[in-house]
Structure 1
Amino acid sequence: MKVVKPNVNLGDLPYFDSQLSNEQILRDISFHFDREVPNFPRLRSLTRIHDVLEMNLFLEHRYKGLFMPPRRANKINNLGGVSVLTLNSTAYSLSIFLAWLEEHNVAWQEVIAIAPSEKAKYWLPVYRFRKHLIERVEAKEIGRDSANLYMNHIRQFYEWALKQRRIDKIPFEYKTKIIKKKRKDGDIDFLFAGQFAQERGITVTTTDLLIPKKYKQKTFNQNELAPYSSEELELLYGSQELMKPASRLWVELAHQCGLRADEVATFPASAVKDPVLSLHKIFYVEITGKLSKTRKVMVSSVLMASLWAYLNSTERQRRLSKWQLEQGNSHAAPLFINRSGKPMIAKSVSNVISKVRAELNGKTLERDFHDLRSTFATNLAKFMLKQNLPIGFIQYKLMQLLGHSDFSTTQKYINFARSETFDKQMSSWVDKLFGEHLPSIHDDLLAIQQGDNHE
């Protein structure tokens, strides 16, 4: 059971283009309109062929936007579906599920319990697989977040199967949950502000497939955070690799905006503006991140000027011309394109740190590309703490800019930013990086306060 990544034609209006000859076993399929998708994830198995065909069709429908189309997906997929990056994650989850089904000789289509009782439903394949994941979490083979991601993709597959009438009912239950966050001090909690702050919360619909919090591994240890020190940043920015315009911009988008490698690779060219023609000191750019969620990030005028220069550089125009020969439409092109005129991939972006390590001649650089995002989050937390902004607003702003959905994930950066060690190492970098952001941050705070007063 494995995931392969062939080039796939997802064109429109398929037809058989020839008669069968004596040598042919299968007729060739052609399309009236070709749509080649490179490295499209497909499940492959010699023992579960029917299941693989079903799941591959599900992946195709997700990509084409025929099932659960994400909001504003056309920025990364002009068919209206999810990105290939998201599909890779989904395909991996399905491959784990299929391997488990094969190992236990189970049919995923079994959706009705033998007895109509709460206990009996846990014999259904989807709940047995959930139990298998819980055991792996307890054994510390995978994290709880990974297990929940697998279950989320399996849930989507079953919902698709119901819509396609492959099954008669959903083999799990939905439930409504209210997420509350009570105030523990005098600070305004801007996420849940209002007259009834103690009772109000965000209502979400979930399923009983989630892995319970009691299985969560030990709480975050502050020492596990790995932001760059000022010395490591100096090594990084002083390297020959970062003399290359694209490499330097990749690092700056992660370090100054908190972008992940895949978010840098798909950064929209349409978001790049000439700051000279604008009165704005800060530019808000909408990006599509993890699980196809969209959020707005802050880009300083200095960084935007660098992005604008790269957008209009000779090298980028040369790569864009190759893109146009293959894709036709230059408006959908991302900012960063490889030498072959194809979209840049996340691995190429993150490899910039490996290239820097190779040239350091004995000096060590232990951090990786994702640690630049940690550096951004910790820096910004430190900056806002120094401005004496309300802790509720700091939590809100960090969650908004990083795309977090969990308070605890955001809080670890605030805790680390308060530490004495970080203060000594990074205080000079903090003011340098985020001084230009201060008016915009204060505007956001004022807008929330005024909105709260009008309720």
Structure 2
Amino acid sequence: MKVYYEIKTTEIKPYTYRTPLVSVDEHGELFVEYSKQSPTYIKRVTLLNLVGREESGKVISYEPMDYVNRFLLAHHIEEDKQESDQYSKGLVHFFSFLIDSQELWDEGYDEDFYDELVDLPRPRWDWFPPTKSKKITYQYRAALKKAVLDESDPSRRIARTTATAYMNAVTKFYSFHLRSGYEFNNKPFEHEVIPLHFTAGGTNMQAYMAIDIHTTDLRLNFGKSKRNDGGALPSTRRDLRPLANGEWKQVEKILTDTQKVVKNVGGELKLVSLPIEFCLFFLVSRYTGLRKEEVASLHLGQIVRPDLTKPLMRIGVGGEYGSLTKTKGGGNKSRRTIIPTCTMRLLYNYSRSDRYQKRLAKFKALCEVKRVEGNEAFFAAEDSIHENKEYLFISQTGVPLFTKPTEANTRWNEIRATVEKKTGRKIEGTIHNLRSTFAVALFRTLLRKTAPDIAFAQVSECLGHEDFTTTQKYLQIAQDEPTGDEIYEDVLDYIGVFDCINVDDSDLIHGEVNDEQ
């Protein structure tokens, strides 16, 4: 009987880890308790399992991959990290590649001709031949590079950043086992530990400190893109490309008019309703420039009844305003952006609807259940839920959407599929492209009212960029890939002024858009 193997994942969120303590009871029997001191709160951990199936698809084995899961948990517990999804995804891809390699070996295996002194054994994650090119780690690197540079099938092609992240997960995984003293027959890759000594800070009692730097030759090195003459802003940055005006109009029609999308239901494509929460979610993303996580964490304290005599108003995000934002180097830096009053009115009306009140009640009931269960991680983890906060975007089951960001991705993909089916025009990009659309459209509008350098600084402020060069990338992409759409015209005319700007005036950095504009 032939058995087919695959990698399946198990997600645990949130999760509280307590140190196990082994003791001996009065009868001399061992028992385990768990320390109540310094628990580790993990936002989410995705564990890997090896599943075996018969040809009929029936599951005949289900085995947790302890050697992988120990690494993932150590990433949280020893390094105090909240998430490890990037490593989980990379290792799912790597071990799937290993399974494919094992199947190829099985197909070519012949018991009569196999010589264990000459022929390589069946590939394993923890056994490596002495020759570098024969090691599964280097074969995986070669496969990733091919998938990036030479894959003709778009569905199998991998982005450079994704391939690099996958390779990094593999090196981290094996480095963990090397540090832990795991004895491989041969090293999985060239590995060296270099001690780095440096002067300690003034608050440290020691004069000098040292850290170990782990280096490896198992890296993916890609040359500069041939497009854009190998420049720093290649046109392959699809994540920064704004939607063309025609593309956005099709999306906006779905969000404000039909509110229906094409969805796969039982293997059949059907037109179904798009929940109002996601219609509002994407409208806010487009007209405020907020990141996906920032929109998802909005709460009623940020929603007000707008003055409809003014087209625009301010909205704040970040720690000062009780919501989440992305800050380079960590933290929750506050900032303000703009929002059309008509969009704020939609949010305000929704917050007063029976539909929202029912979801809010389910959220509060869920918090009560978690308290009774003693699930401290639900409230205490980084970016955790605050039970007294009235989140705006809540799922039907009472879970705030900022804890399940992949659901917004799914709804966005349904919108893209609907536009393509209706118009035949494929929309590239993710929810983040709505942020780029906001940036280009705002810049174009401001140029009609103020000088280019002031407009640029104001756009940068709304986006929350500490470095002006990041904002420049959002606008530069419109020049790299012109479409002829009117939304780009002013950008193309004025983009050159940024090449020589040296903004050091605080008025530019903190300039604001007048609410009456």
Query: Do both proteins adopt the same fold according to a TM-score greater than 0.5, normalized to the shorter chain?
Result: yes
Kept after mapping to 1: 8 A contact 2:336/2:462: no
- Corresponding residue SS for 2:142: helix
Question: Matched residues in 1 for 2:47 and 2:398: separation?
Answer: 21
Please say if 1:69 is aligned against 2:80.
Answer: yes
CA contact (8 A) 2:235 2:477 kept: no
Give the aligned partner of residue 208 of structure 2.
none
Percent identical: 15
Query: How big is the shift at 1:147?
Result: 0.9
User: Are residue 445 (structure 1) and residue 445 (structure 2) matched?
Assistant: no
Partner of 1:214: 223
- What is the alpha-carbon root mean square deviation over aligned residues? 5.7
1:50 Cα shift?
Answer: 9.2
Distance 2:43 2:415 in 1: 29
* C-alpha distance in structure 1 between counterparts of 2:470 and 2:168, whole Å: 17
Q: Separation in 2 of the partners of 1:361 and 1:50? A: 41
1:270–1:331 CA contact under 8 A, matched in 2: no
Contact 1:97 1:129 in 2 (8 A): yes
Distance 2:216 2:439 in 1: 31
The one of 146, 165, 169 equivalent to 1:149 is: 165
Given residue 253 of structure 1, which amino acid in structure 2 is its aligned partner?
A: V
SS in 1 for 2:302: coil
Residues in 1 aligned to 2:464 and 2:335: alpha-carbon distance in whole angstroms: 8
Kindly report which structure 2 residues correspond to 1:87-236, keeping only aligned pairs within 5 A, or say none: 87=85, 89-102=86-99, 103=101, 105-109=122-126, 125-140=136-151, 141-166=157-182, 171-172=190-191, 208-214=217-223, 216=225, 218=227, 220-221=234-235, 225=241, 227-229=243-245, 231-232=249-250, 234-236=252-254
| Aligned AA (2:427) | R
- Specify every segment of 5 or more residues in structure 1 that has no aligned partner in the other structure, as ranges: 17-28, 71-80, 115-119, 176-204, 428-440, 449-455
Match of 1:376 in 2: 438
Given the superposition, is the C-alpha separation of residues 318 and 287 from structure 1 closer, same or farther in structure 2, using an over 3 Å criterion? Answer: same
Distance 1:359 1:223, change over 3 A: closer
The equivalent residue for 1:318 is 361
> For 1:347-384, what per-residue CA distance to the aligned partner results, in whole angstroms no more than 9, with x for missing partners?
54245453697699966775376343442243245456
- Give the letter for the 2:437 counterpart: T
Residues 13-66 of structure 1: CA distance to partner in whole angstroms, max 9, x if unpaired? 6799xxxxxxxxxxxx9989999999944232559999921112222344xx31
Which of 389, 400, 416 lines up with 2:453 in the alignment? 389
How far did residue 255 of structure 1 move?
A: 0.8
Q: Does the C-alpha gap of structure 1 residues 413 and 209 become closer, same or farther in structure 2, counting only changes over 3 Å?
A: same
Residue 297 of structure 2 is aligned with which of 259, 268, 271? 268
- What one-letter code is carried by the residue in structure 2 that aligns with 1:157? F
Structure with max Cα Rg = 2
Q: Contact (CA 8 Å) 1:258, 1:402: kept in 2 or not?
A: no
Say whether residues 1:52 and 2:65 are aligned partners.
yes
Rate the CA distance shift 1:125–1:298 in 2: closer, same or farther, 3 A: farther
Deviation string, structure 1 residues 200-251 (Cα, Å, up to 9, x no partner): xxxxx99654422327574555997460416435524431429965223211
Which residue type is aligned with residue 393 of structure 2?
F
Q: Deviation of residue 325 (structure 1)?
A: 3.9
**Deviation for aligned residue 1:106:** 4.4
Aligned to 2:396: 339
TM-score using structure 1 length: 0.58
Give the Cα separation in 1 of the matches to 2:74 and 2:452.
49
Q: What residue number does 1:283 align with?
A: 316
Q: What does 1:339-358 align with in structure 2 at a 5 Å threshold?
A: 339-344=396-401, 345-352=404-411, 354=414
Q: In 2 relative to 1, CA 69–403 (structure 1 residues): closer, same or farther, beyond 3 Å?
A: farther
- 1:150-189 CA-to-partner distances (Å, cap 9, x unmatched) read 11222332343345443699844699xxxxxxxxxxxxxx
Structure 2 counterpart of 1:314, which letter? Q
Deviations 1:289-316 (A, max 9, x none): 9999977675436466765765674134
Change (3 A) 1:319 1:148: same
Task: Measure the CA separation in 1 of the matches of 2:484 and 2:419.
Answer: 28
Could you tell me how far apart the structure 1 residues matched to 2:191 and 2:367 are? 47
Instruction: Write the letter of the residue equivalent to 2:279.
Output: R
Q: Answer yes or no: is the 8 Å Cα contact 1:144–1:215 preserved in 2.
A: no
Unaligned stretches of 5+ residues in structure 2 = 23-31, 54-60, 103-121, 152-156, 195-213, 229-233, 261-273, 307-312, 319-323, 372-378, 380-384, 491-503, 512-517
User: 1:359 and 1:270, CA in 2 relative to 1: closer, same or farther beyond 3 A?
Assistant: closer
* Residues 444, 269 of structure 1: alpha-carbon distance in 2 compared, 3 angstrom cutoff: same
Greater share of residues in strand: 2
Please tell me the residue identity of whatever aligns with 2:65.
V
Cα distance change on mapping 1:445 and 1:282 into 2, 3 Å: farther
| Partner SS for 2:396 | coil
Alignment correspondent of 1:184: none
**Retained in 1: the 8 A contact 2:259–2:276?**
no
Cα distance between partner residues in 1 of 2:469 and 2:80: 20
**What amino acid is aligned across from residue 421 of structure 1 in structure 2?**
G
The residue aligned with 1:4 is 8
In 2, the alpha carbon distance for the partners of 1:259 and 1:393 equals: 17
What's the counterpart of residue 197 of structure 1? none
Counterpart of 2:65 in 1: which secondary structure?
helix
Which of the numbers 278, 300, 304 marks the counterpart of 2:338? Answer: 300
